[in-house]
A and B are shown apart, each in its own frame.
Chain A
Amino acid sequence: MKKLLLTAVSAALLWGQNPNAESLLNEFKTQGGGPFDAKRGEAAWMQENLIKGEKMSCVTCHGKDLTQGGKHYTSGEAIDPMAPSVTKTRFSDLKHTRKWFKRNCKEVYGRECTPQEKGDFMLFILSK
């Protein structure tokens, strides 16, 4: 019970400023995902895949430290930090989030991510 309460409190803290994020996580749950795990999300964030002969991972463009900005690996265009604590607009537009999950999973994994994977990524990002 105590553990459950703690989980609920930390979840509220995590998502308190991101009601949108919570609704997207619920969407992933209805699609068969969950429970989600930030650690698994972090490992997947670092995982390198060989795509079109190049080693790709989320880090390639977003970097390892989510509180820092990233840089697109070919164009050099700046990417705002993924951490919601820094970039307050993260998950404020779910159409935007869905669009970029689709594009970036294909770029880095060569396929769309599963609802489970997307939820894990989100918990990792929300923890920053």
Chain B
Amino acid sequence: MTRTLIILTLLSTSLLADWSDLFERKNGIEPVTNAAYNKACGDCHFPYQPGWLPARSWQKMMEPKELEDHFGDNAEMEEEERLEMLKFLVDHSAETSSYKRSKKILASIKEAESPLRISQTRYLERKHEEIPEKLIKQEKVKSLAHCNRCHEGADKGNFDDDDVVIPNYGRWDR
């Protein structure tokens, strides 16, 4: 009897833990667990979670010609790597995600549009409109493209307001 109780308690605790974990994570954006993606993209910049853009945006961004001028830099890849990355991006794009921020950013993008800059979507612009421009343009941040320079949990898919620390300002409390 005691043993059954212990097992039941353990089982229910682990179930509860899993549910709360799931619940918390659904609030942000699906984190990336693909090491090859984190390496290929993270070599140069914060490896943006695929859930930040619709599949059509990733498809456009990953075209060979587009990669040769990737926001001003040459980011061309061998075909094998390009296709592997494209597949990962499309498989985890905003449309496929049940995470809150994927749904919100998707809702802010017109169907006829395939934006390449996450930071220039209406959702991201709205979320950052209260941040003084000088804090964004300062040397330690430079632009909204560098998520993890202020969002401490960015790599875990956590973009909550209370996890924001802006260089030369501190915690973003309102």
Contact = CB atoms under 8 A, between A and B. Distances in A.
Interface residues of B, number: 15
A76 B145 CA distance: 12
Contacts of A74: 72-73
Contacts of A106: 68, 74, 76
Contact of B142 (A75, A95, A107): A75
Contacts of A102: 74, 76
Interface centre among A72, A95, A99, A104 (most CB of B within 10 A): A99
27 contacts: A72-B44, A74-B72, A74-B73, A75-B45, A75-B145, A75-B146, A76-B139, A76-B142, A76-B146, A77-B44, A77-B45, A95-B78, A95-B81, A99-B77, A99-B78, A99-B81, A102-B74, A102-B76, A103-B73, A103-B74, A103-B75, A103-B76, A104-B74, A106-B68, A106-B74, A106-B76, A107-B73
Interface residues of A, number: 12
B150 to A, nearest CB: 14
Interface in B42-75: 44-45, 68, 72-75
Interface in B88-130: none
A51 to B, nearest CB: 11
Contacts of B74: 102-104, 106-107
Interface string A59-75: 00000000000001011
Nearest to A104: B74
